[in-house]
Amino acid sequence: MIVKKVTPLLAGLIFLFGVYIVLHGHLTPGGGFAGGAIIAGAFILLILAYGSSALNLRKEVAGSSNTESVALLMVCILAIMGLLFGAKVFFFNFLPKGTPGELLSAGFIPLYNIFIGIEVAGAILTIFLALVIFKEESSK
C-alpha cells in the first residue's frame, strides 16, 4: 500500500533526474550511460511496485526494443553526418563548439549523449521486461 502510493511520486523524480544527468553529461559527472540506467531504473521501479499484470508487458517490450534500435540507428547517422560535413572523419564533431560551460555547447556531444542515453535505457528495460515476461509465461 505505501509502496503503491509513493512509487508514482518517486518514479517521476527519478526519471527527471536521469534526464538531467543525460542532458548535463558534458558539464557534470554522468552522461548517456549513467542517465540511461537511471531512466530504466524509474520504469523498473514502476513495474516492481505495480506488478506485471497491471501493464501490457508485450506491448511495452516491443516499444522499448524499437526505441533502442532507433536510438542506435540515430547514433550511426550522427557518425555518418561527420563524414558528410566538415572533415572526412567518422564521428567528426561538426557542430559549432560554443562557449565551454554552457548547456548548449560542445558540438554534437550532447546529441550523442541523448541518443546513447535512450539506447541504454531501452536496452536495460528490454532485458528486464524479457525476464519478467519469461517468468509470467512459464508459470502459467
Residue placing its CB nearer to another protein in the complex, 4 or 48: 48
Give the DSSP H/E element, type plus range, for residue 42: helix 32-50
Q: How far is the CB of 2 from another protein (least distance, A)?
A: 18
Q: How far is the CB of 16 from another protein (least distance, A)?
A: 15
Give Cβ neighbours of residue 111 (< 8 Å, ≥ 6 apart). 78, 95
Residue placing its CB nearer to another protein in the complex, 19 or 93: 93
Q: Is residue 103 classed exposed, middle or buried when 0-12, 13-18 and 19+ CB atoms within 10 A define those classes?
A: exposed
Q: How far is the CB of 57 from another protein (least distance, A)?
A: 12
How far is it, in rounded angstroms, from Cα 44 to Cα 129?
Answer: 9
Residue type for 138, please?
A: S
How far is it, in rounded angstroms, from Cα 64 to Cα 55?
Answer: 14
Q: How far is the CB of 5 from another protein (least distance, A)?
A: 20
Q: Give the footprint of another protein on this chain (CB under 8 A).
A: 21, 25-34, 37-38, 40-41, 44, 48, 61, 65, 68-69, 72, 75-76, 79, 90-91, 93, 97-98, 100-101, 105-107, 109, 112-113, 116, 119-120, 122-124, 126-128, 130-131, 133-135, 137-138
